[in-house]
Structure 1
Amino acid sequence: MNTNVRQGVPAPALETKEQRNQQQATIYRILLAISFVHLFNDSIQAVIPALFPTLKDNLLLSFTQIGWLAFALNITSSLIQPVIGFAADRKPRPILLPLGMCCTFAGVFLLAFADSYPLVIISIIFVGLGSAAFHPEGMRVAHMAAGQRKGLSQSIFQVGGNAGQALGPLLNYGVFIPFGQIGALGFTLFAAAGIVIQTYVARWYRGMLNAGYTFRKKSSTGTIDPARRKAVFMATVILVFIVFVRSWYGASIGGYYAFYLMDHYGMELDSAQIYIFLYLAAGAVGTFFGGPLADRFGRRNLILLSMVGTVPLALILPFANAFWAAVLLIISGFVLLSSFSVTVVYAQMLYPGNIGTVSGLITGLAFGLGGIGSLVIGKLIDHTDITTVFVACGFLPLLGLVALLLPGDKKLEQWAAE
């Protein structure tokens, strides 16, 4: 009897079927693991803006110098992420997952003891490099573990990151206000836990690659119509612009709104940080529900509504009293960030098989441009006043009307299927 045949099925065909079933299954333990690491990574990133008030007092910094700190974090990540993503799409490197967290560990350790402005910038660059290494490969792992549930996997993956960002204000309240800058040392525990989990995920990732998993999808015709190529390029430009605008407005809230609350309402720093937490926590919830909402109302429609729907809330915010400011922050955080994971899925459908490149482009380059926005906002506050700047920032989400130029869902699904 032929030992290479099991139940009448030749071994090579059976192996192919098993691999296909493995690729189609949703591996929740890996999704949850990579989501937790995303939480660790982005909570450490959130340490940077959470430390702004402390660093401003300790090192006597101007708002422009604070803007440069945000710029250093975002631009480091944005310059490296697309390169890592492009390289990973051609040759996956699972080892980058634990190595990236090692870099983050070094950055946050150095930040705890940094006693000069240049040293703070160097430590922030290390954190940015760690994030740059994590996101493209982390996105690929989430895509690999998703099976047929790509939207759900992105919601799980991205909600970890947004939840980590939301922890920033609470970290300031519970760590940096009572302990000062040295409190950053505690976040080396987050980084250490991330290294352990990433090592486990990297081993699974390597095993899947060895079993024959591939991200690449060849076109059925072998060529792409020039008109379609142009349409995909324009859609990519629009997506990057939308994420840039969203990041710019988010930078105004996450980086400077605490100062606005202290200046306008006379709040203490610990109370002001609670408001930022409400905004970011609502954004994390919006990120999770964004996928199901997009399935019901359409990806392009949700991207458009999330941007335009934020405009009236953002314009009213500078003039609301303390209570209504909290309410507006909760609603606007949910609405604006409900499209967070949807923009990533939309971009992945534009470029099937190029998951790392898309991650570097959307979560790297676009957020780096948002870092430029943070720098500009800091300069404007120094040269005008913080109220005028926040009123002006309220108009930013209106630029999301360019989402009307994005291809509709039917066209997008048609392209992804070819």
Structure 2
Amino acid sequence: MEEQKNKIRPEFSVLLAVSFAHLLNDFMQGVIPSVYPLLKEEHHLSFSQIGLITFVYQLAASIFQPVVGSYTDRKPIPYSQIIGMSFSITGMALFAYAPSYSIILCSVFLVGIGSSIFHPESSRVAYMASGGKRSMAQSIFQIGGNGGTALAPIIVAYLVLPRGQSAIAWFCLVGITGQIVSSYIGNWYSQKLKNRSKNGKTTVKIPDLSETRVMMTIFILMLLIISKYFYIASITNYFQFYTMKKFGISEIQAQVYLFYFLIAVAAGTLLGGIFGDRFGRKYVIWFSVLGVAPFTLALPYASYTMTGVLVVVIGLILSSAFPAIIVYAQELLPKKLGMVSGLFYGFAFGMGGLGSALLGWQADHTSIEFIYHVCSYLPLIGVVAYFLPNLQNTLYKEVQ
């Protein structure tokens, strides 16, 4: 009984705060692809140029994340979320009044920098506040980001599309709200660091695996992220154009279809975290990436109604992997939480950006429908998850 009393519990107030801050951060990010139909018309852009916008944003969001994470492993920065939000607010303000394509690229680059600063320490906070329920904590954190991304196309459809590009400036208020929430998180984090310094050095448990096995495992996780984020890039960046062309629907109707997918992604993220703690992260990863294949293969041949159904199912299944992948990697390298979080968030952003650029080029040279035929085979890469070690059955050793 005494042991049960002393058991560490998740700190839900902190988890909800960091999830809400993630929602606000990723909402600002989600505005960028949501206004692509508007930008394409106003600035006369090709699909390749649209893909390059995503590539520049996600390149900035990917390259700096492992650097930020490695730095904060050595020197934690409790208020880094506020710094990141400042970059994003500046980028959104510039994006709203960007008169040319080059300025649009500069503005999304700033938003990407803000994201690269925000994610590594925020993921660490979720890990620290988990009370041992790490997949659940990571999924609560991640569902905030997915919720923000899902809200963006709907709000853009009704606030920005009727008013034009300058209406994006209103979303700077979202970043300011995020800074206020992040100050609460920073205060909690600062107190945690003070308590840790008083208690002296702590030990962590690491899996007793060879360095070669660890590196091979990281490589497999990277392959799974390539599969997942190339496919997600095809939906978040081009699904509006696909449904408008194939079914002859309006921009607002197309945004609603994208909203269905993004809401399903948010729900799937939460389910993936719950199942990861209960059944093991390896099995959730395997099911999520490979199990979605029958539905992605069917999507290019679906009717208008079935497209809506399939895109929800795809979002639910595909999204359940990411919290499990992040926590799996953190447990693999627990002494490098910031670097691992930055590496995987950064790699995910980078693959999404590269996928967007390549798919945009492909759409210009073939057709928007063709890229969905190509991408439908990507989840088959998930078969490599079979070779992941089961960390729940692995011996651990304690190190300082």
Report the equivalent of 1:15: none
Larger deviation: 115-124 or 204-213?
204-213
Q: Tell me, yes or no, if structure 1 residue 312 matches structure 2 residue 294.
A: yes
TM-score w.r.t. structure 2 length?
A: 0.94
- Give SS of 2:45's match: coil
Q: Tell me, yes or no, if structure 1 residue 276 matches structure 2 residue 251.
A: no
Q: Tell me, yes or no, if structure 1 residue 285 matches structure 2 residue 267.
A: yes
Give the gaps of 5 or more residues in structure 2: 1-5
Distance change (3 Å), C-alpha of 1:220 and 1:25: closer
Q: Tell me, yes or no, if structure 1 residue 84 matches structure 2 residue 47.
A: no
Report the equivalent of 2:246: 264
> C-alpha separation between the residues in 1 aligned to 2:221 and 2:200?
22
Larger deviation: 245-254 or 353-362?
353-362
Report the equivalent of 2:38: 54
**What is the RMSD of the two structures over their aligned residues, measured on CA atoms?**
2.2
2:139 to 155, 158, 168: 155
Q: Which aligned pairs between 1:7-406 and structure 2 lie closer than 5 A?
A: 24-212=8-196, 218=203, 228-406=210-388
> C-alpha separation between the residues in 2 aligned to 1:416 and 1:368?
33
User: 1:171: Cα distance to partner?
Assistant: 2.4
> C-alpha separation between the residues in 2 aligned to 1:338 and 1:322?
25
Q: Is the 8 A contact 2:18 2:182 kept in 1?
A: yes
> C-alpha separation between the residues in 1 aligned to 2:353 and 2:28?
17
> C-alpha separation between the residues in 2 aligned to 1:411 and 1:118?
52
> C-alpha separation between the residues in 1 aligned to 2:205 and 2:292?
41
> C-alpha separation between the residues in 2 aligned to 1:336 and 1:25?
29
1:204-249 CA distance string (max 9 Å, x none): 211111111699865679xx97x61111111111112211210110
Matched letter for residue 156 of structure 2 = N
User: 1:302: Cα distance to partner?
Assistant: 1.3
Larger deviation: 319-328 or 292-301?
292-301
Identity percentage of aligned residues: 40
User: 1:165: Cα distance to partner?
Assistant: 1.2
> C-alpha separation between the residues in 1 aligned to 2:10 and 2:284?
25
Report the structure number with the largest CA radius of gyration. 1
User: 1:410: Cα distance to partner?
Assistant: 3.0
Matched letter for residue 353 of structure 1 = K
User: 1:406: Cα distance to partner?
Assistant: 0.8
Q: Is the 8 A contact 1:172 1:270 kept in 2?
A: no
> C-alpha separation between the residues in 1 aligned to 2:247 and 2:106?
34
Distance change (3 Å), C-alpha of 1:220 and 1:28: closer
